[in-house]
């Protein structure tokens, strides 16, 4: 049973930083793509960043490019999202997700962690 468990959210002032963690378990994730999504109140869930577990290649939404960094630690089976220069508009519930590399649908989701950026 695949489990994704996020942590690291919290309240931070604008301009501050946070690092989110996603502990992945239940299988080996070689060949998977891992991602972070976020959902603000009253808005649809949106893509933030993704990383290939095998190659480490990354891709970012334009809104976070240059401020956020996604990474993974194979030994710890964890994925991270380092968020710098946070803005109030980054306030959202952040979700970790996983899919098989060749799929288009995200098969697995975590429960989310709340990030609140005050102005």
- Which pLDDT does position 59 carry in this prediction? 97
What is the rounded CA–CA span in Å between residue 59 and residue 10?
24
Q: Are 72 and 34 in contact (CB under 8 A)?
A: yes
On the question of pLDDT at 20 being above 90, the answer is yes
Burial of 67: CB neighbours in 10 Å, binned 0-12, 13-18, 19+: middle
Asked whether the predicted pLDDT for residue 12 surpasses 90, the reply is: yes
Mean pLDDT across the stretch 8-36?
A: 96
How high is the pLDDT of residue 101? 84
Query: CA 105 to CA 117: how far, in whole Å?
Result: 30
The pLDDT value recorded for residue 64 is 98
pLDDT value at 28 more than 90: no
The tens digit of pLDDT for each residue in 46-77 reads 999 999 999 999 999 999 999 999 999 989 99
Q: What is the DSSP letter of 27?
A: S
Are the CB atoms for 86 and 15 separated by under 8 Å? yes
Q: What is the pLDDT of residue 103?
A: 83
pLDDT of residue 79: 97
Give yes or no for a contact between 115 and 12, defined as CB atoms under 8 angstroms apart: yes
C-alpha gyration radius of the chain = 13
Question: pLDDT tens digits for 78-116?
Answer: 999 999 999 999 999 999 999 998 888 999 999 999 999
Residue 102 confidence (pLDDT): 81
């Amino acid at each position: 049973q695949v489990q994704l468990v996020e942590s690291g959210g919290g309240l931070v002032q604008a301009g501050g930083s946070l690092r989110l963690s996603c502990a992945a378990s239940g299988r080996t994730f070689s060949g998977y793509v891992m991602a972070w999504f976020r959902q603000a109140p009253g808005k649809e869930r949106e893509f933030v960043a993704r990383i290939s577990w095998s190659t480490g290649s990354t891709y970012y939404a334009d809104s976070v490019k240059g401020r956020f960094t996604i990474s993974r630690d194979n030994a710890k089976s964890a994925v991270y999202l380092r968020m710098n220069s946070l803005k109030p508009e980054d306030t959202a519930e952040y979700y970790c997700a996983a899919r098989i590399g060749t799929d288009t649908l995200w098969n697995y989701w975590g429960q989310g962690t709340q990030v609140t950026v005050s102005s």
